[in-house]
Amino acid sequence: QAEGFVCHSMKIAVCVKRVPDSETRVKIASDRKSLDEAGVKFVLNPYDEFAVEEALRRKEQGGAGEVVIVLLGPAAAQETIRTALAMGADRGVLLQTDKIPADGLEVAKTLAAELKEGGYDLILFGKMAIDDYNHQIGPMVAELLGLPCVTAIAHLEIESGKGTAEREIEGGLEVVEFPLPAVLTTDKGLNEPRYPALKGIMAAKKKPLDVKPRTLGAGRLEAMALTAPPDRQEGKIVGEGPAAVPELVRLLREEAKVL
Amino acid sequence: MTNVLAVLEQRDGVLRKVSHEVVTGARRLADALGGTVEALALAGGAVKGADRLGGFGADLVITLTNSAFAMYAPEGYSQVLADRAKGGGYAAVVFAASAMGRDLAPRVAARLDVPLAQDVTDVAVESGAVTVIHPVYAGKALLKLKITGNPAVVSLRPNVFTPVERPRAGSQETAPVDVRGGGDRVVVKQIKAAVAGAVDVAEASIVISGGRGLKEPANFKVLEALAGAFGGRAAVGASRAVVDAGWRPHGDQVGQTGKTVSPTLYIAVGISGAIQHLAGMRTSKVIVAINKDKDAPIFKVADYGIVGDLFDVVPKLTEEIRKLHG
Ligand SMILES: Cc1cc2nc3c(=O)[nH]c(=O)nc-3n(C[C@H](O)[C@H](O)[C@H](O)COP(=O)(O)OP(=O)(O)OC[C@H]3O[C@@H](n4cnc5c(N)ncnc54)[C@H](O)[C@@H]3O)c2cc1C
Ligand SMILES: Nc1ncnc2c1ncn2[C@@H]1O[C@H](COP(=O)(O)O)[C@@H](O)[C@H]1O
């Protein structure tokens, strides 16, 4: 450790979600309300990779500490937790449940109950899950725990119990100060997540992973139907090269009426 | 309980355009419920533009002022809004799914102990309950949700709820408001503005995005010239390939791990049309693709395509648009 470097050991929780890979072809299940999961490849939610990476960097900078991965999901999500452990997290907690309700507040309550007595300096989330696009679990957990929260951060500095984060807003960046302990949700740009090395993958197999069964309330958001978006009518090729431009402009004016 | 609370947004004391969309969505719900729309702004003082909201369907416009409210104050705003929502007996509370709304709505919902339907593209009332459409799986499916929380809390995807003129009284009320406790722990210190005058890709009515086909960062000036020809309504976006290469800032990325945009016109230039890119722009009203490869997947979602070298096609397009706006 460099001389003069103040060792600050941090205990950090990272909540991660198991989501269908972004390449997934969406097939709607026979109940017409959910995704047919047959043949779907699941991955660690991409935004959560930024959260895991940030936690690992904070721990490495402090020279000590612990990074705990928390996931609410089915038994198969142990694999997702192992991915985060392979990146370097210390241990995992699977809050096991078969079905995650559409109501994010139920998810937030279950996570908050688990995190409450953990004594964490930081609790990190992704800014959103790429399956439900909900953008909500992190700030809801923060409210339930009464902790300060900054969402969708793309830059973070922490010094002696105080943090400064930057979050992108329309046409600018908001610079936000907050005290620790805190809840943060991570956006792209915060860091470059590492790939698990073979050594990490081997080590992950031996790291502790607690499995705790959980039963969630049904919640007050009811999925009524899952449908394919209206097909965009395949358009037309107006022509080739710059010669086609006047016709394009005419179509945009007269047919599409957008100019 | 049939009234709807519309949460407005201001920056530097000026009402943001997205607030018109919020009032429009709230009006739609209030009409279906047979109630009124109360539009609420939190600000440091008077909000310029609030007096015009009657035109979009607000019955009442309330500005609550506090010296700490000039910029977004997450904790103070959520406390005041939650108090208002508890006391006001609203059937629904409507936010914009903007940077502020996406942060604020979950806090308020949690304080009210009700669910949140975030980033919705449609709202309706069916047998007395609010229903919404929420795109999921990167826009590859639409989830219809029925909300039984009371009030129903929703945030509206920007650029989807086209403001319509629905004249109502729009009477104005302004009052100071206090925040309990020791003030915000989370404090917005400053806003670092992006390039002056630049329109954000998430809010622009025209987005021109460039991909790897641009070949090098300096060539984006070709797209900026086209954006300029539209006169301040257009923003320049980017594919992830060029953002990862460091050619363009993260904030400009359109797609699954970037922004979701729904402009009136989206022009994809030198972008192949990977599924993750489509995730961010497929709800655009009209899509134009310019690509030299006639088999590029982007042509499958484009309404109009030109096959050709962008370096020939785009300058010609810029010239034609300039003529129009001449
Ligand atoms: C988890 C995950 C998340 C992702 N998120 C996103 C995201 O948010 N946004 C995103 O965009 N991508 C995302 N991607 C990446 C995506 O898969 C593609 O790699 C990326 O979109 C490709 O960018 P591109 O179209 O610019 O480049 P390319 O695929 O290389 O396409 C370049 C195109 O330019 C055309 N071209 C070349 N020269 C010319 C010329 N002179 N004139 C005209 N046309 C020309 C070519 O024909 C080609 O079609 C993600 C990937 C993953 C795995
Ligand atoms: N089932 C879950 N288990 C653990 N963390 C979750 C779960 N669902 C969501 N999260 C976290 O909350 C973030 C935002 O998710 P969402 O609000 O669903 O878009 C994700 O990036 C995760 O960090």
**B positions 120-149 inside 8 Å of A (CB):** 131, 134-149
Residue A5 has pLDDT above 90, yes or no: no
Q: What is the dihedral of CA B128, B133, B137, B138, to 10 degrees?
A: -150
**A positions 61-80 inside 8 Å of B (CB):** none
Contact A176, A164 (CB under 8 A): yes
Whether the complex's predicted ipTM surpasses the cut of 0.85: yes
Q: How close A3 gets to chain B, by Cα (Å)? A: 32
The residue nearest atom 53 of ligand 1, judged by CA position, is A22
- Tokens 């009210």 -> residue: B112
**Which two tokens mark B297?**
């997947």
Positive or negative: CA dihedral A35, A36, A41, A42: positive
In the prediction, which pLDDT does B325 show? 83
Contact A175 B192 (CB under 8 A): yes
Burial of A209 (0-12, 13-18, 19+ CB in 10 A): middle
- Looking at the CA of residue A47, tell me the nearest atom of ligand 2: 21
Residue B10 has pLDDT above 90, yes or no: yes
User: Which residue of chain B is at minimal alpha-carbon distance from A101?
Assistant: B115
Model pLDDT for residues A111-140, shown as the tens digit of each residue: 999 999 999 999 999 999 999 999 999 999
Model pLDDT for residues A52-71, shown as the tens digit of each residue: 999 999 999 988 899 999 99
Residue A7 has pLDDT above 80, yes or no: no
Residue A3 has pLDDT above 50, yes or no: no
- A6 close to B (CB below 8 A): no
Q: Is the CB of B52 under 6 A from ligand 1?
A: no
Quickly count: other Cβ atoms within 10 Å of residue A253's Cβ.
12
- The CA distance from B298 to B275, in Å, is 9
Model pLDDT for residues A191-210, shown as the tens digit of each residue: 999 999 999 999 999 999 99
A123: helix, coil or strand?
A: strand
pTM of the model: 0.93
Positive or negative: CA dihedral A196, A198, A203, A205: positive
Residue B306 has pLDDT above 90, yes or no: yes
In the prediction, which pLDDT does A171 show? 87
**Which two tokens mark B45?**
């003082």
Contact A226 B141 (CB under 8 A): yes
Contact A12, A121 (CB under 8 A): yes
- A254 close to B (CB below 8 A): no
Beta bridge partners of B41: B63
**Phi/psi at A115 (5° precision):** -85, -20
- The CA distance from B214 to B221, in Å, is 10
Contact A155, A47 (CB under 8 A): no
Round the CA-based radius of gyration of chain B to a whole number and report it.
Answer: 21
User: Which residue of chain A is at minimal alpha-carbon distance from B186?
Assistant: A178
